[in-house]
Amino acid sequence: MDETDPILLDQRAAGGAALPRLLGVVSLALGAGGLLAPRAVARLTGVDDSPAALAVIPAVGARELAHAAGLLAGRRPAGWAWTRVAGDALDLALLVRARADRRGERCRRVGRTTAVVAGLAAVDLFAAVRAGRARAAHRRAIDVEVAVTVNRSPAEAYRFWRDLENLPRFMAHLESVRVEDVRRSHWTARGPAGRPVSWAAEIVDDRPNRSLAWRSMPGTRVPSAGRVRFVPAPGDRGTEVRVRLRYAPPAGALGRAVAKLFGEEPEQQVRDDLRRFKQVMETGEVVRSEGSPDGTSLRQQAAQRPAQPLPAARR
């Protein structure tokens, strides 16, 4: 799958990179203050009576600028968030020691600074854990890319797909799609063991007669993103419909294992869905023989029986 596709970038931001970037801005401000105005920072924090403060504060500022560079670059947000957690622990240790040596107003200033740093440490810890989970989900995510040629124009294929409530007509795992407005919709599918799974989705890129991209809304149980392209087929043979999907299994690795156990391999599912899309577009319905139940799951295949000739009365 194309790593520069905006639907993937949106998923990553929703998956835990946005908060670390915000913390990168905080680190930038703290680092600049520590390097450019160490005396003012020392007074504000209550350690202006310590000769060592004018050496320690610029060092802490330089560390914060390193955190800012890593977090704002957007690479390995979980790792850089954890470096902020480690820095917070060091700062808290220094502040606890400084408070023990002070009285009066300076003690109160050090106490207020300690409370602020403790609050930032809690946010940093939350960001690090969240970014780590997002990275784990990204690693286990399933990528699928499948194409089919349909004997219809790109405009016809796009119009049918753009009406999202048509999707359950050929996507076997979908029970329903309810369109809420021009961008947002609500999807319900059959999950592992036949349990229904629902999520909200939004269209993030719509190019009439060319392509359509969507993604699940942040916080939904089924993180997913997809794009379908409608490309004129060579030799005036209709339209190549190219689908790219990325999603995390509803029940993680166990959910993926259960799905495969029942024959519901993701790429084969999408391939079968596109075959049914082709049938609906070209014939108006999904073509089935009397001995071929809908779908390719183990349960459905077990229900197959040899096709029988029509009774004489129906010939």
State pLDDT tens for residues 211-260: 999 998 877 766 788 999 999 999 888 999 999 988 776 555 555 555 55
Q: Residue type at 100?
A: A
Which class for 123: exposed (0-12), middle (13-18), buried (19 or more C-beta within 10 A)?
A: middle
State pLDDT tens for residues 139-166: 666 788 999 999 999 999 999 999 999 9
In terms of Cα–Cα distance, which of 203, 269, 247, 185 is closest to 177? 185
Strand order in 224-232's β-sheet?
Answer: 142-150, 239-247, 224-232, 211-216, 196-207, 184-190, 174-179
How many beta carbons lie within 10 A of that of residue 241, not counting itself? Answer: 24
- Indicate the domain borders of the chain: 6-138, 141-302
211 bridge partner residues: 207, 229
pLDDT for res 172: 85
CA angle 109, 115, 121 (to 5 degrees): 135
What does pLDDT average to over the chain? Answer: 81
State pLDDT tens for residues 7-21: 444 444 444 567 888
Q: Are 279 and 160 in contact (CB under 8 A)?
A: no
Q: pTM of the entire structure?
A: 0.56
The CATH code of domain 141-302 reads 3.30.530.20
3-state secondary structure of 290: coil
